[in-house]
Structure 1
Amino acid sequence: MTTTTAPPVDSRVIGLAHYAARAVLERVLSRHGVTFQQQITLRPAVADGPLDREALAGRVVASLKIDPAEARAVIGELLTKGLLAADGESIRATDAGRTLHDTVTAETAPVTARIYAGISAEDRAVAGRVLTTITERAEAELAAM
């Protein structure tokens, strides 16, 4: 569906875009028995690991805006599934975790390409700047609450 008259950006428009894109990812993740929260937790362990358990939990809290106990629980789920491994307080992605991450990335890449097709680099840059500003301001408001 192509929208000819775009509404001004607001929380609803941002939310609709987020949930539409998330639904695509969740469809792929469900085929592999992984949740959205687990994927968001696995990603930094693959990209930046090994990480201190609390540092990983902190990154998950910052990304998902969830309680630290919930982030630690998701880490525990990934440890149980064998997608993460612990060496004391150090957490790293296992070979299975890396393979899953790579598989999900490969499966979502063509869909992502279709979603972004025809959107100019300039428009994407503007949207990125606007969304970054909104994120920073919302996080400041959340911190003040």
Structure 2
Amino acid sequence: MSTLNGQVIGQAHFATRALLDRAVAPLGVDFAQVLALNALTAGPADRTSLVRRLASARRVDESAVHEVIAGLVDAGLARLDDTAEPRVSLTDAGHRTQARVAEAVGGITARLYGDIPPAEADVAARVLTLVTERANDELAGGTAQK
């Protein structure tokens, strides 16, 4: 029986991430770009808000996210408009690439999680969400120790 701790969670994350990296490499995108593509599927986003959200999610400096967005623009997968509050949106090529990413993720998800009983998956999701919330609270200077 495994003990639920950061090492077990991290191993699952890194193993899954390696599968995703391998699946999206032929598409010419990396993990950070996948996150940005996914964030833009709902439609154009204010660049400042998008940068803050992705930087927070990845725990990276905002300059790293600006580089990701620039890479997507350079690759023709996203475009930046030239308004006072610049917005980022997917191009047709970006939508096609994101759809292929979603297909790859769907396949990985089905292979890794497909035979896990729904009740167990629900419990795991609740536990991991709680752990994430507590860690985020501590990172923000809160007191997640309960």
Q: Which residue pairs with 2:103 in the alignment? A: 106
How big is each residue's C-alpha offset from its partner over 1:84-134, in whole Å with a ceiling of 9 and x where there is no partner?
101120110111011001112223322321111221111111111110111
Give the fraction of aligned pairs with identical amino acids, expressed as a percent: 37
Q: Which residue pairs with 2:4 in the alignment? A: 9
Partners of 1:144 and 1:69 in 2: CA distance: 23
Partners of 1:114 and 1:16 in 2: CA distance: 17
Aligned length: 139
Q: Which residue pairs with 1:40 in the alignment? A: 35
Q: Which residue of 121, 126, 134 corresponds with 1:124?
A: 121
Q: Where do 1:48-67 residues align within 5 Å?
A: 48-67=42-61
- Does the Cα contact within 8 Å between 2:77 and 2:92 map onto a contact in 1? yes
Q: TM-score, normalised by structure 1?
A: 0.90
Q: 2:40 is aligned with what amino acid?
A: A
Q: Which residue pairs with 1:28 in the alignment? A: 23
* Structure 2 residue ranges without an equivalent (≥5): none
Partners of 1:29 and 1:118 in 2: CA distance: 24
